[in-house]
Structure 1
Amino acid sequence: MMGIEKILLIGGGGFIGRNLINSFELIKKDIEFVVLSRQNHHFSPTKTVRYVVGDYGNKDEMEVLFRTEKFNKVFHFANTSVPSSSNFNILDDVDNNLMSTLTLLEVMKKNGCNFILYLSSGGAVYGNSNDRILDEAHYCVPISSYGITKLANEQYIALHSRNYGLNYLILRLSNPYGHFHVSEQQGIVNIAIRKALRNDTVTVWGNGAQEKDYIYVQDVISIIYKLLEKGIVNDTFNVGSGTAIALNDILREIRQALPSLDVKYEPSKPTDVSNFCLSISKLKSVIDFDITPFDDGLAKTIEWEKLKIL
């Protein structure tokens, strides 16, 4: 009989992390999470989840934590920047997101922790392309420091796999939306809904014609669960809906539900990937999964944002 699996979840206080914890506590009883964040989110611990404040780039802190907890796996969901801000202070971006990950990998190697799940970015690592459907073999030319550090982390994880036998799973996410989203910088679907509910103006960078891949966050969690249950390792997968939607069409749908939505258009930023749609053929070849239609996911997200504001 297998024992309890202890997982270090870095960035578990964020959007994807909170959804994962909420779902995994219901469907997976043989795990224990230690959630590491650089700030105190004041979440209450449960029987299977504990919260720790710390910096995964601090080698001394990580050495103590790994020796004490004896982790089986690491889920790395953290990032301190977004594409639009990362180019303003590249040294900080590299230090906080690349060097910290390298420190983490070294501590994992030293302490015999042999699996990492890393959330990368399907838009940022590929950059702009004339190809509208991007598979995992497509060339990567990031146009932001955010995308460069994501891609570099992918490469260093793969290097540790080749050199030291580290097992990994890298997921290149499209644009997730849904429950537990809080950022005011990234995630236009939730941001636009909140702005409409508050009677604020949402700023769109560009003319709104840009078409991108969006995925309901619960679909992301379901995909992660199925990949882990199947034991798939040492591979990289796109995780998206496999379809692209124009931003203006999204805003139009939100306005139908929330007529107060007001939009201001500003010139696009040089860090913005204009159009992309992720091929999910490779993912479909290894697991079966369903994608929530955008209309349904949007309706659920609007209801959740309404409850949060009330």
Structure 2
Amino acid sequence: MIGNRSPAKWRLSAWSCCALFGLYLLQTPAQAADLLLSTAGDASTLQHFGNALAAARPADRVRILALNEMPPLDQLPGDTRLILFGQPALAWRLDAPAGPPTLVLQVNKAQAHKTLGARQPAQLSVLWQDPAPQRQLRLLKYLLPKARRVGVLYDPHSEFLIQELRQASSDLGLEVVAQSWPDTRDSKAVVALLSASDVLLAVADDDLYNPLTAKTLLLTSYGQQHALIGPSAGFVRAGSLASTYSDQYDWLITLSDLLNQPPQRWPSGTYSNTFKVIGNPQVARALGIMLPSDAELARHLLQGETP
């Protein structure tokens, strides 16, 4: 399924659980905390994630409650760490400014921006679901070393992302060519951008990249021999060339790193500390692109990560 409109039923292998437990043992012990997980959707879909989190942090107490069953936030114990999933849960949390320290997952940066606006609540951190722009651009440059002009479609919800992309691209000798796509039923904006760029980079904007737009985007871009990078593993399976992404295991690592810190040190938002890469060999062959294995791509990008 393309896009991130509904929470996925995450799975974690026994090997990953063991790896997470090993990671926990290597960490400096911290004071035990009450970890309360919640979502506006079906809380049972969080069970796998909750089980994995409990395995990774056996000293903590992990509980799961549906959002409509949550107690008043000012009545929660002082050591509670609230872990919310999805944009509706983020919006709900904003109604209680005096709530406990909160981490929010399964929200992309465009969704968070739409919900938060200019607000930066204290002790609230959003773990953006988006692939980190720098990683996506480095992946693009590795696969397409001759590309210089990176085409990016945006709408009012994602226009603010262009500045971050331009900053990241300038460090790599790339130029971002931005094009507004106000009506996704009309492909003229896509055709115009293709003529002004060497490759398309997709941002995590569900209004632009979804099952209804996938056919237009993919057929139009590949009709002009342009690769599409991103925005997610699901879109790569549907026909884009490649993307970095973070799975449940990666988010557990990032989440655990934050939980080991006092909430005062949490960033207002962060990308996953770790990641994986997925490529589409069939698309690569059609475009005449040499595509290394997913593992090789991940190793190459990892070498350039800033500690």
| TM > 0.5 | no
